Structure 1
């Protein structure tokens, strides 16, 4: 049986241009509600991949996301949010996309069609067996991503993927595939919609669970978050206040002096002597 892309299948809706705004929004929302159910069905696969990621990071490795178009952008977004959220170095989770950083804002024509460029991009980071690479492609057929994962496999580098079709070439290439089948898009083939939402959910799950496994969360708090704006300073101050049962003024002073919620709490006994 030949591989069928449900991400490219005809929408369940037609004559979209004749729908009112209300009808459009209601129908898009109806389709969106299918996404978390599809993610739930993939939880066993997500668990296996997250376990691999956690082990690699605990042993000094890095996590790479590699994709093209929307998939590549989502990987870069997730990677870029790990340092401010969890206080990890910027080089721990790395997002790469076909066409390079400029492709984040403007599509680079045919960049995803090169089977060799993905591996070249990974080599710039001196990738090794300590690392893990997750290929992201809604279709599961992107040459840039598949080529990169093939070379990783050849070099004994662990590979996973996030795709939205069953039995895709990408899923067959990855050692630890995640397949979240969300069905046809509201606008036929527009995989930035349900497929993109599914990929974002899975990326959130993998990185958040891995960071918790690394000890970057205590209780339910981001104790290592970077204090990069007033909102986060205020949030950190509240955390310190609650844990230590001290005034807002004292909590804020401790936080700013020591640079993180974790450090402020740890230093408190010494500060009182």
Structure 2
């Protein structure tokens, strides 16, 4: 698909936008963001399917690999870098294939996205248990297409996150999440509507994945890493609400559990020790609701 044919590259109904009043310009930009979110809603079935596959593969010890160039990979890195603190995901289960390397996160290395050889080279470590999220608004970024092809050859399951239908990237992957955010208000500036759609879709995908992996209970982040005073307070509050105990008891249990919310909740709920709580969690495969049910039935 040529740039002229890509929806994200088409000029919209914004001729003369640079002469408009500020409020009208901002309204147009806001409408573009709303179209992006509408595109994500249409993609919910594909996102749900991707989350089911990703959760299963992560539970089996596989890695989550984000691949892309420019804005797309910056959004991917933002999503992935939050997962350990938010959901307790192991750092070693997350990897990034970045066109131009880490420097491209902060510098404009535009030609790096054309480097097919680098895409294939960076994907050489992908394995059969891994899942790649190959992100490209155009769906045609040479680095990303090449990385996706190599990862799939190595046995990884590859998911395309694209904003244009009928793309080269989707054609070489196992599952497509198509976000038809349409023409940008500023033609081709895919950090706008396409970027918003990508960010929202990745939010949905990674969150649903970790709900399925037992990292969320009643809307609380029960795998949160209590690494600072704010997060310790948050963790204690979560324990107090779930176990229905006061703050002092929650803090005591959190300390005994060395900052882990789930065993602390079980301790407050009647587990005889942290070891017993951990055993319950192992038996429940990390699912706090199931562990609490078994504790209540014991």
Report the 3-state secondary structure (helix = DSSP H, G, I; strand = E; otherwise coil) of the residue aligned with 2:265.
helix
In the TM superposition, what whole-angstrom CA distance separates every residue of 1:123-170 from its partner, at most 9, and x where no partner exists? Answer: 3xx321111111100001100000011112222321111000010111
Go from structure 1 to structure 2 and tell me whether the alpha carbon gap of 1:162 and 1:221 turns closer, same or farther (over 3 Å shift): same
CA distance in 2, matches of 1:64, 1:242: 35
Write the distance in 2 (CA, Å) between the matches of 1:82 and 1:89.
8
Q: 72-81 or 147-156: which moved more?
A: 147-156
Alignment gaps of 5+ in structure 1: none
Worse-superposed segment, 58-67 or 88-97: 88-97
Aligned partners of 1:75 and 1:96 also within 8 Å: no
Structural mapping, 1:22-101, within 5 Å: 22-101=23-102
Q: Return closer, same or farther for 1:241/1:71 CA change in 2, 3 Å cut-off.
A: same
What is the aligned partner in structure 1 of residue 19 from structure 2? 18
Name the TM-score, length of structure 1 as normaliser. 0.92
Where does residue 150 of structure 1 map in the other structure?
A: 149
Question: Any unmatched runs of 5+ in structure 2?
Answer: 274-298
Deviations 1:217-272 (A, max 9, x none): 1222111101133332222121112223322223223223421211211233337x
- For the residues of structure 2 that align with 1:245 and 1:129, how far apart are their CA atoms? 43
Instruction: Spell out the pairing of 1:84-123 with structure 2 (5 A cutoff).
Output: 84-123=85-124
1:106 positional shift: 1.2
Aligned to 2:267: 267
Instruction: Please give the residue correspondences for 1:201-212 in structure 2 after superposition, counting only pairs within 5 Å.
Output: 201-212=200-211
2:184–2:193 Cα contact (<8 Å) kept: yes
CA distance in 1, matches of 2:236, 2:135: 37
- 1:2, distance to aligned residue in structure 2 (A): 6.9
Bigger RCO of structures 1 and 2 (CA < 8 A, at least 6 apart): 1
Give the length in aligned residue pairs.
Answer: 270
Give me the TM-score of the superposition, normalised by structure 2. Answer: 0.85
Task: Quote the offset at 1:101 in angstroms.
Answer: 1.4
Please show how residues 129-168 of structure 1 align to structure 2 within 5 Å: 129-168=128-167
Change (3 A) 1:155 1:191: same
| Contact 1:73-1:104 at 8 Å conserved across structures | yes
Counterparts of 1:256 and 1:11, CA distance in 2: 57
CA shift digits 1:4-51 (9 cap, x unpaired)? 201110032121221222111111112211122211222222222222
Distance (Å, rounded) in 1 between the aligned partners of 2:115 and 2:212: 36
Partner of 1:116, secondary structure, is helix
Change (3 A) 1:241 1:57: same
**1:82–1:189 CA distance, 2 compared to 1 (3 A):** same
Report Cα offsets for 1:83-116 as digits up to 9, x if no partner.
0001121122323311111111112231111112
Query: 1:178 — aligned with what?
Result: 177
- Find out whether 1:8 has 2:6 as its counterpart: no
